[in-house]
A and B are shown apart, each in its own frame.
Chain A
């Protein structure tokens, strides 16, 4: 009878209170469960199905939520169901409450379309599996990312598909002490594509243009840019870890105008996920894409070729470059180019250091 009393306050306590009870399978922190290997993925999938948010799906999700509940405690023995308000109950209740909030539109979206609730409940868990279990990502230098206030994170771009941006934002949010969201600036091609544009906006992205960058920085957000753009992700495997041209340095003038520190970040590992051996330019022109990649697996293996190779990833944030004293020179091309060069050099050198630390791209 005490179970209903337990339920309301237990809704939000998902990862914070690590209970020391070994009897209960510790699946909620994402590690592979030892006992209930079957039930755990089913529970993980439950918020994912709600991503599509259609009323039809809700039925299926509810069923999915219902089925593991009786199945879940059988191998666990009588100890689990005897506990009042055990965590299955809480998980189901939290999942249902989430579904109800989504279906009734009871959530907030900011002016850029960022939906923190959806990002945290759906996109981050998916990307977490990828960056932690698949790419075994190691993040260093997080102390260089400001804990509050604006910051401009500038990184190298690679990997044929811009997975590095998503990995960077999830890893930063997970591992930074203040769990900051990285607001990514994307090419307009991203916002031209249906579905992709929607996901980009919901996860906090916006079009890479100075008004948006300055608006986000002015609001004290952490903004992520990849000044190489398509030149970076669309380069051949033989050019890996060679930084491309940094464009017009628009990101520097945005930082200067708002007096925001620039945090260079070097990402190693992205180049090996889809090693691009050739670029079929006529086909790219036909499809209106910036490049058409040929990798060892794509397009030969069809959809299987979309699976990224499990390279080892290292991410290092470099010391921030302050710009507050240069606010007046935002329109001075010399200052802008010099600063862009400084950022570029920092990233390139850090890339070399990281590569020395990682002799085998597919090592442990």
Chain B
């Protein structure tokens, strides 16, 4: 244990993926915690200018995950938070091949380095509810024990399954390390910028014809809170992290004041593939599968172990709506006004008919 560090809270923490939104915010939040002595942010690229203020108190190291071994040993690192995952292929940065390289190979290298770090006591890995795959025979609600019935079609889902497999192997080889795997529902919030928030920001939103999937979101701030607690406290195991409650996709689109445009499923898959091969659009088979099957998880284990309940899916989505007023086609007020107008005109017509008779 590092001198000065409170029991439970680690002294030196390494956060990977600080060049991205989630990593930068987590690193900043851990750095603000007085119980944690040092926060070292690792990323192969220099974090963008938008994160410079945020990463003020974080020591930044420009490093590939492959050469992490030396750093972990030299700096006597107590905890590693692995957030450097790419959820959608970015055609500007190598597409799917680079995504897999970063997700799967990056995690392998990180775990190999962790295995040889003698002082390491804690490992927190970001995972996703995509680990449950998507199948028509799936139960409606996934608990942490549910095994995926089919290997997902989407690249991210397959990567997540691989990553969790490697973490299971790591747990066997280093039982002394507290390993926490957090399966996050899609992030949403006032500031988060993800594939899904971009999707809901369009005025006309494509959906799959004849399907109304049940969705769950987790508010970005709640995700930060859970990650923070995972580092500062001891929570070994795998946890679903999602806002309780469910929104159906059509309901979410209506709440956001957007208009749903149903598309036939084969068409949507084809369009997604075409868009990918042409090098634009970030919707992949991961998104199509989500919009066909939906995904709802049970969060009771998180609530018990962390003694923390994320805000509900509906509340998190409301927060997103408030921040994205632009592009709204139909608002609640317009509808209420239309209702009044129609009621009033009916009354007038009736009045007129009544007077004539």
A interface residue numbers (CB < 8 A to B): 3, 53, 55, 62, 65-66, 69-70, 73-74, 78, 81, 89, 92-93, 96-97, 99-100, 102-107, 109-113, 115, 188, 191-198, 201-202, 206-207, 209, 211-212, 215
| Cβ-neighbour of B137 out of A53, A62, A209 (below 8 A) | A209
Q: Chain B, interface size: which category?
A: 35 or more
* Cross-chain pairs A/B with CB under 8 angstroms, 14 sampled: A70-B350, A74-B353, A96-B339, A97-B339, A100-B335, A100-B339, A109-B248, A110-B246, A191-B136, A191-B137, A194-B265, A195-B210, A201-B214, A211-B146
Closest residue on chain A to residue B332 by CB atoms: A104
Give Cα A105–Cα B250 distance, bound, in whole angstroms. Answer: 8
Give Cα A96–Cα B344 distance, bound, in whole angstroms. Answer: 12
B25 lies within 8 A of chain A by Cβ: no
**Smallest Cβ distance from A250 to chain B, in angstroms?**
13
- Taking a contact as CB atoms under 8 Å apart, the answer to whether A113 and B346 are in contact is no
Ranked 5 nearest A-B pairs via Cβ: A194-B210, A105-B254, A105-B255, A195-B210, A211-B139
B102 lies within 8 A of chain A by Cβ: no
| Cβ-neighbour of A113 out of B143, B214, B252, B354 (below 8 A) | B214
Give Cα A284–Cα B259 distance, bound, in whole angstroms. Answer: 38
Q: Is chain A's binding surface mostly helix, strand, loop or mixed?
A: helix
Closest residue on chain A to residue B340 by CB atoms: A96
**With contact pairs A66-B349, A105-B251 given, residues A113 and B357 touching in the complex (Cβ less than 8 Å):** no
**With contact pairs A62-B342, A215-B140 given, residues A111 and B332 touching in the complex (Cβ less than 8 Å):** no
Give Cα A185–Cα B139 distance, bound, in whole angstroms. Answer: 11
**Smallest Cβ distance from A190 to chain B, in angstroms?**
9
| Cβ-neighbour of B335 out of A65, A93, A103, A188 (below 8 A) | A103
B278 lies within 8 A of chain A by Cβ: no
B253 lies within 8 A of chain A by Cβ: yes
**Smallest Cβ distance from B116 to chain A, in angstroms?**
40
Give 1 or 0 for each of B335-348: 1 = CB within 8 Å of chain A CB: 11011001101110
Chain A residues with CB under 8 A of B209: 194-195
Give Cα A92–Cα B348 distance, bound, in whole angstroms. Answer: 14
Chain B residues with CB under 8 A of A202: 212
B32 lies within 8 A of chain A by Cβ: no
B141 lies within 8 A of chain A by Cβ: yes
Chain B residues with CB under 8 A of A96: 339, 342-343
B241 lies within 8 A of chain A by Cβ: no
B247 lies within 8 A of chain A by Cβ: yes
Give Cα A305–Cα B137 distance, bound, in whole angstroms. Answer: 31
**Smallest Cβ distance from B341 to chain A, in angstroms?**
10
B274 lies within 8 A of chain A by Cβ: no
- Taking a contact as CB atoms under 8 Å apart, the answer to whether B214 and A111 are in contact is yes
**With contact pairs A110-B246, A198-B212 given, residues A55 and B259 touching in the complex (Cβ less than 8 Å):** yes
**With contact pairs A81-B354, A198-B210, A198-B212 given, residues A103 and B330 touching in the complex (Cβ less than 8 Å):** yes
**Smallest Cβ distance from A254 to chain B, in angstroms?**
12
Give Cα A74–Cα B354 distance, bound, in whole angstroms. Answer: 9
Give Cα A78–Cα B137 distance, bound, in whole angstroms. Answer: 59
- Taking a contact as CB atoms under 8 Å apart, the answer to whether A69 and B136 are in contact is no
Closest residue on chain A to residue B337 by CB atoms: A100
Give Cα A180–Cα B357 distance, bound, in whole angstroms. Answer: 47
B208 lies within 8 A of chain A by Cβ: yes
Within 8 A of A (CB), among B111-158: 136-141, 143, 146
**Smallest Cβ distance from B292 to chain A, in angstroms?**
9
Closest residue on chain A to residue B247 by CB atoms: A109
